[in-house]
Every structure is written in structure tokens, then in C-alpha cells.
Structure 1
């Protein structure tokens, strides 16, 4: 496992970390036994950063990570998110009272006194403009409820606005071979501001594993079934906003770029790590085998310039017209 510094937090985090959305919910059924096996395997392989949210399974994901802490002596970092419990989800809801309530609930779920990293969970765009919201978070750091805070965003513009606030330590943003805009328009600014980057949806909701076909089907409670057009939340969260059929075509054009002995999923994760501004990629895992497959990418050799150019060419021709201007 390789490690990188997570922006202003100073945490040295595994370059392949663990995204805990899948073990919480909206990815189909995942048993507690499988979820715990995935978490334990990740820790076994040197993964030391786990990203969750209070709405993943209504706290289930946080509680599973708390169980991992009870069962293992190793120290590791946990990031969670707050804000999406608001109903309605409005900018005005991001106030001291509501945020404190969300944080206290997460502290209880995680069985800890301080959250390593709290992220605003894809709030309405106007929240990023409000100094008072970030002042509230500064206050929570001062109280010892949080060690650091950051944001999880939908768009590059939101990321650029967020890092104008001096104590934003991290930005979580969708970045993968089907979403190149962050590298083109955000990474340099993040590097200058010493902001850590968490690459989420790194496998484009599974498209970049290369295991899907036109006949692939998903469980009723899997967002890949019910959110393809943004019915439940931002469409970009599902297959990175790429039309499913176009994504399958792009995957076939990526296959010849994959070095011998490497899977497409490993290639896709290693591609993300070719960007030094990325602190870590956070693929999800529903079981121990998936956690192990994800972790392998951290120790693969660098990709060739030819492969990097090939990915960009596929993006430019098939993907860019669909996603570049939306996120």
C-alpha cells in the first residue's frame, strides 16, 4: 500500500481507501457479515482511511465502522458527511443547530468523541458562498467535535468556490476516466491551496470494472436501477452521469490500453493515482474479494504515456460531450 498526505489535515492516508456507501445502502443488499469482511480485509491490506456518511443506510455504514474500531487495535481515519438528512434539503438548513445535531448523531454512531474529517454532503450551491457556514465548522473544530472539515461536491465550480474558505482541508469530487474535468480545471488550484482530493465514484458505479453488459440488471434498491436520470439525487452520482450504453462502448475501447496481467478495474484505479494531486481514491467494496481487488491497484507500476493519452482520447470522443459542461 502507498500513502499520500491528505491536504491540510496532515493525515497520511492510503492511496486506495475505502468508500463505505455500498455497505450502507442503495447498492443492493449487503449482509453485515460481508460488510465486516470487506472492512477487515481493507485494514489487513493497509487501507487506513474510511469514507462514510450519516445517510448511508441511515447510519448503518457509520455503525459498521464503529464495530471495526471495536474489533481491531489498529488506528485508522474516518471521514463522514453531514447535510443530506435535511428535508427539505435547502441552503438555510446548513445552520449551527442542524449541523450540531448531525455531528452529535454521527459521533454516537461512530462511537467516538471527535470526527477526523467532516464533509458537507453535496449541499445546495449557495452554501459554498456562505462564510457563516464555514465559521460554524471552525467553531466545532475549536470545541473538539471535529479535527478537520471539507466538502463533497457535485461540480468543479462548487469545488473552486469551496476552497476559497481557508480552513477547507479536503474536497471530495467525482474523478475517473469518465470525468476528466477536475484534472483540467480544479487540481492546480487545489494543489496551490494545499487541499486534499478524495476521488469518489472512481469506477463509475462499476462501469469501469468492465464486468457489465447490455443485459446487466440491478436490484430495485440499487441506485443504478432507480437513479439513472437523477430521479433520487444528482444524476452524476450514477455511472458518473454517462449514458449506460455509451459507457459500455467506451469500456470496450479502453480494454486494449490495459497492460497484460492487469484488470480493467485495476487500470482505472491506477489511472486516478497517476495524478499526484489526488490524495486517495475511495472505491467501494461489498465483500472481502472486492476490497482486496481494489487495494491491489495501489502497488501497480505507473501507466505509460501512451495509455494516458488513450484514455484521454476515448473521453474526448465519447464521454466529454455528455458530461463536461454539466459537472
Structure 2
């Protein structure tokens, strides 16, 4: 396992880490603590030392599973969680200092941890990124010993640029993959200048970039890839990275021609890790086998410059005009 610095946190974290949106089972299934425990332990056994969760994953059950496993291990594991998405309605006015403080205390109770290594605002409305009192709260929580660092999870590049105006923002979690390349041009230089860590989520575009889907693939009715393709439940950029499913399949076929005989999922992860600005990538897993497969990216060769340019061309020619201006 290779390790990278998570910006000004000073944490040296595994470049392939773990996102836990579906760690208790596949999307839409009832949370399975036994399965979650196996996945989390497998991750740590294989050198992963950074785990990203949220209070809304499994309605708090994901946090509980993460806390149980982390407390049972002797290794130093950095735990990141997120707050705010549980607010209903999910609007700017719901984000109050009092409500966010309760979120942090709720997460600490769920995980039974003394301190949260990284607390992240969970894709709040854009207006929240301009409110000084919200960011000042997390300085107070740090002084109280409840958190060690503040980060933000964003939908739009512009939100990340605004968040970095606050000195206490140490990391940005954002969607980044072969189908979402805008951050390369508009975010990376600013992140480097501000010593802010970058956490790449949705690295496989909700599975599209595994190359295993087809026109006949069925998704369960409780799976966001079924019910959120047009943003019916939350930002549509979280589902297939905002790319139309049929268009995504066509672009995947183009990518397969660039990398014949290679496992596209590993290539997609390697592509992300070739950007030095990235601190880590957090693919999810619903089985221990998926953890082990993701970690094979550490064994494959870097993409060549010609291959990197070919991936860029697929984005420029097929995807960019549909997604670039939106996020």
C-alpha cells in the first residue's frame, strides 16, 4: 500500500481508502453488521487506514459499524464522517450552529469514539459555504476536543474554491473520475497552494466505469441508480456522475478500446491516482472481495501519456458538454 499526506491534517493515509455508503450491503438493502465488520476488517488487514462514513449511511448504522471495528483494532485508523445531509428539509436555513453541533455529538455517540479525526460538511447547499458562523463552530469543536479537523464534501468546484477561504478547512471530498474532469483545470492548483487534501469519491461513476453494465442491467427499486438518475432524491451528479446511462455505456466502450484486455475498474482507479494532488480515492465495497480487487490497482503499471490523452479525448468528445458546466 502506498500512503499520501492528507493536506494540512498531517495524516499519512492509504491512497486507496474505503468509502462506506454501501458497506453494510448493496444499495437499497437492509444494513448487515456482520458483512460490514468483515469488509472493514479486510480493509484494515490490507493496509487501509482511512475510512469515510456519514451519519446518514444506513441511518447511522454505518457509523456504528465503523466505530465498533476501529475500537477493536490496535492500528491507527483515521475516521472521517460527515454531517448535515440528515436535515429535512435540506436547505440553507436548516444549517444552524446548534443543529450541526448535535450532528457531531450524534456521530461521536454512534461510533463511541472520543474524537472525530475529520468531520465534513456533507454537500450542503451552496449558501452554507459563505456563512462564517458555520465554519467558526468547528474551531470551537476542535478546542473542545470533539474533532481534530474540518473538511467539506462538495458537489461543485466553485464550492471547494469558496470553502478554502476558511483556514480551518483541511480537506475537500469531491466527485472525480474519467467522466468528471473539471477539477483538474479549476481546483487542483488552488488545493496545492492552500495545502488542502483531496478525497476522490464516486471513482467508478456508480459502477459504470467497471465496464460490467449493459443496456439490460437491472437495478433494484431502492438503488439510487434506479431512482435518482435525474436527481429525484439528491444531486444527480452522485448517480453515474451525472452522465446519461446510455451515453456512459458508449463512452465505456471507447475506454475499453484504449485498454484492451485490462480490467477497466482498476484502470479507472489508477487514472485518478496519477494526479499527485489526490490524497486518496475512496471506492465503496459491499463484499471483502471487492476490497481486495480494488487494491490490485497498487500492482498495475501507470497509464502512459498517450493513454492519459486518449482518456481526456473521450471526455472532451463525448462527456464534457453534458456535465462540465453543471458541477
Query: TM-score, with normalisation over the residues of structure 2?
Result: 0.97
Q: Which residue of structure 1 aligns with residue 49 of structure 2?
A: 48
The secondary structure found in structure 1 opposite 2:279 is strand
The secondary structure found in structure 1 opposite 2:119 is strand
Q: Which residue of structure 1 aligns with residue 274 of structure 2?
A: 274
RMSD: 1.3
Pairing of 1:140-179 with structure 2 (within 5 A): 140-179=141-180
The secondary structure found in structure 2 opposite 1:182 is helix
Distance 1:52 1:324, change over 3 A: same
Distance 1:57 1:235, change over 3 A: same
Residue 47 of structure 1 contacts residue 295 of structure 1 at CA under 8 Å; is this kept in 2? Answer: no
Distance 1:11 1:269 in 2: 21
Specify every segment of 5 or more residues in structure 1 that has no aligned partner in the other structure, as ranges. Answer: none
Specify every segment of 5 or more residues in structure 2 that has no aligned partner in the other structure, as ranges. Answer: none
Q: Which residue of structure 2 aligns with residue 135 of structure 1?
A: 136
Distance 1:130 1:100 in 2: 15
Q: Are 1:209 and 2:210 an aligned pair? A: yes
Residue 39 of structure 2 contacts residue 291 of structure 2 at CA under 8 Å; is this kept in 1? Answer: yes
Residue 172 of structure 1 contacts residue 198 of structure 1 at CA under 8 Å; is this kept in 2? Answer: yes
Distance 1:125 1:310 in 2: 34
> Which structure exhibits the higher relative contact order, with contacts defined as CA atoms closer than 8 Å and separated by 6 or more residues?
1
Deviation at 1:209, TM superposition (A): 0.6
Moved over 3 A (4+): none
Q: Which residue of structure 1 aligns with residue 243 of structure 2?
A: 242
Query: TM-score, with normalisation over the residues of structure 1?
Result: 0.97
Q: Which residue of structure 2 aligns with residue 77 of structure 1?
A: 78
Distance 2:11 2:75 in 1: 15
Deviation at 1:95, TM superposition (A): 2.1
Aligned residues: 326
Pairing of 1:87-166 with structure 2 (within 5 A): 87-166=88-167
Residue 42 of structure 1 contacts residue 295 of structure 1 at CA under 8 Å; is this kept in 2? Answer: no
Q: Which residue of structure 2 aligns with residue 252 of structure 1?
A: 253
| 1:39-64 deviation line (CA, Å, top 9, x unaligned) | 11111111110000000011011011
Deviation at 1:258, TM superposition (A): 2.3
